[in-house]
Amino acid sequence: MYKYDIEITRGQTFDLEIGFDAQDGSFPLSGKKAKAQVRPAPGSTTLSAAFSTEISGSTLVIRLTSDQTVELQAGKYAYDVWLVESGFKKPYLGGEFLVKERVTIAENTETRSVTVTVVWDDDSDSSGSRPEALHVDLFGSGTLLKSAAITGTGDTWTHTFTKVPVYDDEDNVYTYAVVPEEVAGYLTDVTGFTITEELLETEE
């Protein structure tokens, strides 16, 4: 009996590859018909997700993947491998592995907050040219995610976009960019999440 303790953190999918030698040392599994299953270890959690298994030479590949939401609870799991000969299954070997954290396969819904700062460089709006609100769009890798009309008092306004998705539909991390509307008479500079609006000088 072989025992494998591994740590699997939250993710969309995982493959667990277990390498082993032939039980009696006389032959590898290459070219042999074999089947495998994953089950909860005795006294452990209930199996809450489906596994697929594959024998590749002397490696057992256990794969958890799904296009639906499933969860694999933390706990100890066991695997069994059989050789198939003349239509009969012959026990070959077994072992255990430990899932230390719950694994979730689902649409990645992780979110974050993004705080945008607007700085007005216009002598505290002495000319009365400043708008009452500044419309700002928040993009993620070119996709519009959020919009807001930012208001405030004084020369520095702030707004926090909440529940901003971290990943796109293909689980790529978004690269964020803020794009303010054009304000007549102002020169706009965007650095990160800070927008500076500088009042242009007018000819008298």
Q: Read off the tokens for 104.
A: 């979730």
- Does this chain's domain 2-105 share its CATH topology with 111-199? yes
Q: Name the architecture of domain 111-199.
A: Sandwich (2.60)
Task: Give the β-pairing of 111-121 and 194-199.
Answer: parallel
- Secondary structure class of 181 (helix, strand, coil): coil
CB neighbours of 75 closer than 8 A, spacing ≥ 6? 40, 41, 44, 45, 98, 99
| Res 58: pLDDT | 58
**What gap in Å lies between CA 181 and CA 173, rounded to an integer?**
26
Domain boundaries, the chain: 2-105, 111-199
* Least confident stretch, 20-29, 66-75, 112-121, 175-184: 20-29
Please give the model's pTM, rounded to 2 decimal places.
0.53
Which position has the higher pLDDT, 106 or 8?
106
* Phi-psi group of 79: left, alpha or beta (phi > 0 → left; psi -120 to 50 → alpha; rest → beta): beta
Q: Does domain 2-105 have CATH number 2.40.160?
A: no
Residue 161 has pLDDT above 90, yes or no: yes
